[in-house]
Amino acid sequence: MSIDLSTATLKAMPSPPPEAKESPFQRMTRRPEMGALAGTVLVFVFFSIVGGQNFLSIGGASAWLNVASELLIIAIPVGLLMIAGELDLSVGSVLAASSMTLAIISGYLGLPMIIGFVAALGIGALAGLVNGIITARTNVPSFVVTLGMNFGLAGITLGLSRAITGTTSVPITVDPVFKNLFGSLVGGQFEVAIFWAIAVALVIAWVLQMTPWGNWVFAIGGDKDSARATGIPVPRVKITLFVLSGLGAAFVGVIQTCMYNSAQTTNGQSFVFNSIIAVVIGGVLLTGGYGSVIGMVLGAITFAIVNQGIYYTGWSSDWASFILGALLLAAVLMNNTFRRLALSSGPKKTSGKKA
């Protein structure tokens, strides 16, 4: 007995009929970002009703836009890392280290702003580089590596600022150029960070969707070994992603320092989890391999609306945490369902829907 391949059987083998092409709209409805959009609309409507006119006022809008923007500058690179299958829990301490660096160099020591600025971003890049090299060269999960970095760097920042300045909070007089670029309010209420966030979102969205490098990020998160086999320089891409994440956190450190004319060693720790929450609500899979910048933007906006909207309701802000927790859980469940559907074979799943 053997399988007859040459002629009859295979010719007679009916190939399933071609699937109907999906319209871009149909394809969109099956993406997890649609869930993120639904979440954003839901919380916006909810707080519009409960928070009323004040939430909808310019002041209300600027409140959540400001929060969303700072969050996004950190969350987008963190989200890229998550798409590539890695986590970064060190953004909190990187932010603090960066803002202390700027305040000590250009405030306490009185050196030119530009030196403090470059050093602050340099600290972020360096922390990312260390995270990246350790993660890429050893098999230690980035979860542990960056958690270690978050604690270690917090310690160094605290220790050094006490040793140098004798305090944990350092004031700085920000020169006007830097104030305008990073720490000013547009129209009296809108942080200039909003524009930076838009720029970061546009650039990273382009890179992720439209460049070969972006394709590599998806491939690495999808299957590291297959990605390596195709010749992608996996360690180099990962190290670059960690550096970007460090730079994002350091940049927000600079923004906050210029904004508030001072730096504290304890700044920034809330970003560690908030960035992950925003990214996951935005439809990025915790397991890697899937996600989009538009989703992250929606996730950050949803987070910010809940986080700020609560102040317009007259309720305790504890309820904001509750709502965010519930949203996060719902998002994870939805993302998992999406993943399961995407990974199950096509024919059965789609044939019934469209014929």
Partner 1 sequence: MTEPLMTLTGVGKSFAGTDALADISLEIEPGKVLCLLGDNGAGKSTLIKILSGYHAPTTGTIEVDGKQVVFSSPRDASAAGIATVHQYGGTFPLMSVGRSFFVGAEPTKGWGPLKYFDKATANKVAIRELKSLGITRINDGNRLVGGMSGGERQSLAIARAVYFGARLLILDEPTAALGVKEAAHVLKIIMQARQKGIAVVFVTHNVLHAMTVGDRFAVLIHGRKADDFMKGERTREQITDLMAGGEAMAELEAEIAQYESQA
Give the interface with partner 1 as residue ranges (CB under 8 A).
1-3, 5, 9-10, 13, 15-19, 21-22, 27, 206, 209-212, 214-216, 218-219, 222-223, 225-232, 285, 289-290, 339, 342-347, 349-350
Q: How far is the CB of 331 from partner 1 (least distance, A)?
A: 17
Residue 125 structure tokens: 């890049």
Q: Which is nearer to partner 1, 9 or 317 (CB)?
A: 9
CB of 352 to partner 1, least distance (A): 14
CB of 351 to partner 1, least distance (A): 10
Task: Give the shortest CB-234-to-partner 1 separation in angstroms.
Answer: 10
Phi–psi pair at 61, nearest 5 degrees: -65, -45
What minimum distance in Å lies between the beta carbon of 222 and partner 1? 4
Instruction: Dig out the tokens for 27 from the structure.
Output: 């394809």
Nearer to partner 1, 22 or 273 (CB): 22
Q: Phi-psi bin for 291: left (phi > 0), alpha (psi -120 to 50), beta?
A: left
Residue 145's nearest CA partner among 135, 154, 137, 136 is 135
* CB of 81 or CB of 255, closer to partner 1: 81
How far is residue 29's CA from residue 345's CA, in Å, rounded to a whole number? 19
Shortest Cβ 15–partner 1 spacing (Å): 5
Smallest gap from residue 345 Cβ to partner 1 (A): 5
Question: H helices within the chain, ranges in order?
Answer: 8-12, 24-29, 32-56, 58-83, 91-103, 113-137, 142-165, 176-182, 193-210, 212-222, 224-229, 234-260, 270-281, 293-309, 318-343, 346-351
**Which residues fall within 8 angstroms of residue 267, CB to CB, at 6 or more apart?**
95, 96, 99, 253, 256
Q: Between 63 and 208, name the residue whose CB sits nearer to partner 1.
A: 208
∠ Cα 132 275 311 (to 5°) = 160
Residue 58 or 210 with smaller CB distance to partner 1: 210
Q: Which is nearer to partner 1, 138 or 345 (CB)?
A: 345
Pairing of β 190-191 and β 262-264: unpaired
Tell me whether residue 84 or residue 123 sits nearer to partner 1 (CB atom).
Answer: 84
